[in-house]
């Protein structure tokens, strides 16, 4: 049986039992959307780091290798000085990222990812790969209630993020439709309600959210269209041993 829970904020994760949890990190605007896009476009791996100095330091450690990783990410929505890429999914094209590693630093999404480190597996979720992740969850061998699915919203600077809650609710809804034998916490039910209300126009929801308005204000309104392309990529990115890779590669690493 699948037990579904939602954390609306990373600060909730400390109070939850993550030890045997399957976790999905959600940061619609824009970290998990961008990471999903990068991996779909052929990027070899994404290394998330919290601080900008760590990103530069890590890049120096790769200096001897033939393929030096790119630096990507943002502060205040904008590309960091000295970085190769910002946090706009539209920048992460196959021409730019194919077969390259990316050292990636954003604030909200990265913090959520690191707060989840006890969970396993940790998946990267967004509107772009929602069905692929649901299929992964439905095939996952769950044991009992101590083995829940936690949909972890990143929020915006420690406050509630509507778009992350709606995306979490879409996961809850898709899983509920596919699997009747499912239990949902009140938070999961609340997220599903938000999704069913906003599902008819996800782009409008995003444009009116705090996160969406912030991105539009810095001239990146087109990014919002890229953030709501439901099921554009049938991929499952997994965070394992500090690195985000596609599921296949990750499964080779951690053979059962």
> What's the min distance (Å) between Cβ of 157 and a copy of itself?
5
CA distance linking residue 45 with residue 32, whole number of Å: 14
Beta carbon of residue 162, minimum distance to a copy of itself (angstroms, whole number): 4
Dihedral over alpha carbons 31, 33, 37, 40 (to 10 degrees): 110
Pick the closer one to a copy of itself by CB: 160 or 234. Answer: 160
CB of 173 to a copy of itself, least distance (A): 14
| Residue 13: CB minimum distance to a copy of itself, A | 9
Q: Measured from the CB atom, is 16 or 247 closer to a copy of itself? A: 16
Are residues 120 and 246 in contact, defined by beta-carbon separation less than 8 angstroms?
Answer: no
Chain contacts with a copy of itself (rule: CB under 8 A)? 6-9, 11-12, 14-16, 157-162, 165, 185-187, 189-190, 193-194, 197, 208-210
Instruction: Return the number of the residue (7 or 238) whose C-beta is nearest a copy of itself.
Output: 7
Which CB atom, from 59 or from 106, has the smaller least distance to a copy of itself? 106
- How far, in Å, CA of 109 to CA of 30, rounded? 8
Say if CB 244 and CB 122 are below 8 A apart. no
Number of other residues whose CB lies within 10 A of the CB of residue 248:
10
| Complex with a copy of itself: residue 8 or 174, whichever CB lies closer | 8
Other Cβ atoms less than 10 A from the Cβ of 45: the count is: 20
Angstrom distance (rounded) from CA 201 to CA 184: 25
CB of residue 14 to a copy of itself, shortest distance in Å: 7
């Amino acid at each position: 049986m699948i037990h579904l829970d939602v954390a609306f904020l990373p600060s909730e994760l400390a109070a939850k039992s993550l030890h045997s949890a399957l976790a999905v990190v959600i940061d619609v605007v824009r970290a998990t959307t961008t990471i999903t896009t990068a991996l779909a476009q052929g990027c070899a791996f994404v290394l998330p780091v919290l601080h900008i100095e760590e990103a530069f330091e890590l890049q120096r450690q790769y200096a001897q290798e033939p393929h030096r990783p790119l630096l990507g990410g943002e502060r205040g929505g904008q590309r960091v000085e000295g970085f190769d890429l910002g946090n706009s999914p539209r920048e992460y094209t196959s021409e730019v990222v194919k077969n390259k590693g990316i050292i990636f630093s954003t604030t909200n999404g990265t913090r959520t990812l690191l707060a989840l480190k006890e969970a396993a597996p940790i998946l990267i979720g967004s509107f772009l790969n929602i069905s692929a992740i649901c299929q992964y969850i439905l095939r996952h061998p769950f044991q009992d209630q101590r083995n829940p699915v936690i949909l972890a919203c990143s929020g915006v600077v420690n406050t509630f993020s509507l778009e992350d809650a709606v995306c979490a609710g879409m996961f809850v809804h898709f899983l509920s439709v596919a699997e009747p034998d499912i239990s949902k916490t009140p938070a999961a039910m609340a997220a599903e309600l938000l999704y069913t209300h906003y599902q008819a126009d996800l782009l409008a929801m995003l444009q009116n959210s705090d996160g969406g308005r912030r991105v539009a204000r810095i001239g990146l309104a087109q990014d919002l269209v890229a953030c709501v392309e439901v099921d554009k990529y049938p991929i499952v990115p997994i965070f394992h041993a500090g690195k985000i890779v596609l599921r296949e590669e990750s499964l080779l690493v951690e053979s059962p």
